[in-house]
Structure 1
């Protein structure tokens, strides 16, 4: 009952103008590419402002923008009073030693900076990382549910006693659980990787996770590695002719999910592609949208290449339809279905894809440009059922 009373008090206190609506005072720390968080430093601690509209998959933003101000205070520094521009802020003492997450991408990013051993709660048993998955099965790491599907199990979260909960919010309705967790005394840092409009935006969370864990150098190194990889691919394709591309996978019946804007579209373009389904960018709309088969034939039938499946999308087998698609006839059809552990229901693309746009960009470049197919493939591979190829497996 006490947590309910605390939650109601916090809710009433937040009915006025929030402190996060005005910038915090301090020395700004530049964080390029991201639009979901900013950092200022003062008096030996850092103030992080995180904000985003939660956009549903294939849909639009629903509900108010989510805003949270977080104060990262080193354990060696006296904690500031949460007054003035810190009123209502969440305080996290750093470096954190016990971390809860509800998204595989956060697990992967913690692994990348060498902090995965601090996990005390994750979404479930679908981790691509064998060591993390085994610790979950052994009961050494709690299961709070994945953020894309449900709000976190607060009882399990409380029992895990995290120093911080890195919470991905997959649905606007789940935001209430974030406020409840904060009212219960759990420091929550929302993770808005999926709401970035620049494909290098999610990568910048390595810097934030580094600040939280005391592994800033490792976070900076990770960001530099990815940015360098992106630059190498962009230089390689700069002199090559651009090719038209369709990114669409079959949902069911007459419905396809199609990439039309945002970070997903920019990856195609920076790989040397021209998205035949391009729509104007809008941060309140998802990168994908549903389309009918007729639209796909009319607008996408002449695309040079076609990215047509991810690891869990359904196979489409209407040969009469496929015969009208140039990419199918020419054999330039690719599937993003690499890096799968079927026995664990785990998918590397869904964990690392947003964090390693350098690898995804390389995959797209080798799809679009036959002269680059000597490059190694990470997730995107040619579907040999297309064109005059034989067999049902995958090639290069």
Structure 2
């Protein structure tokens, strides 16, 4: 894997060993608990599996291709969709899918609801009833970590998805390859990752030919708290768009991409930024025009919001599904935001803010 840091794959005699390792990181904070580790042994169904002894002792055996998939996070659904195996989903988090056809299947009961991994452990009754070959399990907090052995004790192999721990956004895309190995869609996965990489390279080259511009991405969480992007994959997107982020710090997979700061610090460090991504779906309304007037981005009309590709009636946000594995699309928006000469197509996920006080 050229970019992934949270998992590696080793070829053996007709089967593969996958090691996954990462920490559970609190939202907007640091790692909690011990680092999590999982060893998977992927063996084709027609092949006799190796004994799970020696360095395979304690590993999870998965027969491939998997035909019944359970998932507890929206971006898993985006991965299965690009691989053409959404019809294999038998359980998902809930009814907030951006994909209309999948959401209809969930609402009809054809696909079970086990709860989203950011809020709670999977609902075991619904999970068992769906009879999955595997559970793709994002672990947003330690409650999910505690639930994992209970799921495994029920005979359901768990594939931990540590995508959010990847410090490079292309490391996130590599998870398409992992699910492709599970589903027998490696050719499709390789082609997808190569396509995203080509698009990213072209965008980076175009942006690098433009003058560098300063940019901040910080949303308001209420009170006197703002959440600026500081590190990891989200910060790399700003940097690769030839943007200079005054809040940028060292990458650290044991920390979330943002930290909370005060309005005073936001002004002190971000007031001269050329552009500002001000909002996303988590933001609280900020209406103090006197504060906004202190920012160059506001005065110059380069105020943007990550609120594109939404379906409010379904409470669905493609920014948290497809965009996670299509960083080229997000990077394209940021490049066009920062460099008007490159605005050759419409914005998709990040677009001009229409809700800021005028």
Both structures adopt the same fold (TM-score exceeding 0.5):
yes
Deviation, 1:280, is 2.1
Deviation, 1:378, is 1.2
Distance 1:210 1:281 in 2: 28
Distance 1:32 1:354 in 2: 18
2:178 corresponds in structure 1 to 208
1:145 corresponds in structure 2 to 115
Deviation, 1:384, is 4.8
Change (3 A) 1:386 1:328: farther
Distance 1:386 1:165 in 2: 41
1:284 corresponds in structure 2 to 254
1:369 corresponds in structure 2 to 339
2:198 counterpart of 1:228: yes
Change (3 A) 1:385 1:88: closer
- Please say if residues 331 and 386 of structure 1, whose CA atoms lie closer than 8 Å, have aligned partners that are also in contact: no
Relative contact order higher in (CA < 8 Å, ≥ 6 apart): 2
Give the counterpart of 1:338 among 308, 332, 338: 308
What TM-score, normalized by structure 1, do the two folds share? 0.89
Q: Which has the larger radius of gyration?
A: 1
List aligned pairs for 1:164-183, cutoff 5 A.
164-183=134-153
Give the counterpart of 2:291 among 321, 327, 347: 321
Distance 1:171 1:259 in 2: 21
1:117 corresponds in structure 2 to 87
Q: What CA RMSD, in Å, does the superposition of the two structures yield over aligned residues? A: 1.2
List aligned pairs for 1:193-272, cutoff 5 A.
193-272=163-242
Distance 1:124 1:322 in 2: 37
- Deviating above 4 A after TM superposition, structure 1's stretches of 4 or more consecutive aligned residues are 384-387
- Please say if residues 220 and 286 of structure 2, whose CA atoms lie closer than 8 Å, have aligned partners that are also in contact: yes
1:188 corresponds in structure 2 to 158
- Please say if residues 106 and 113 of structure 2, whose CA atoms lie closer than 8 Å, have aligned partners that are also in contact: yes
Distance 1:352 1:94 in 2: 25
2:272 counterpart of 1:299: no
Give the counterpart of 1:383 among 342, 353, 358: 353
Distance 2:355 2:174 in 1: 38
* Unmatched runs of 5 consecutive residues or more in structure 2: none
2:103 counterpart of 1:95: no
Distance 2:20 2:118 in 1: 19
- Please say if residues 45 and 72 of structure 1, whose CA atoms lie closer than 8 Å, have aligned partners that are also in contact: yes
2:53 corresponds in structure 1 to 83
- Please say if residues 286 and 356 of structure 2, whose CA atoms lie closer than 8 Å, have aligned partners that are also in contact: no
Give the counterpart of 2:318 among 331, 348, 351: 348
Distance 1:170 1:236 in 2: 36
- Please say if residues 332 and 386 of structure 1, whose CA atoms lie closer than 8 Å, have aligned partners that are also in contact: no
- Please say if residues 53 and 66 of structure 1, whose CA atoms lie closer than 8 Å, have aligned partners that are also in contact: yes
Q: Deviations over 1:187-228 (max 9, x none)?
A: 111111111011101100111111111110011111011101
The count of corresponding residues between Structure 1 and Structure 2 is 358
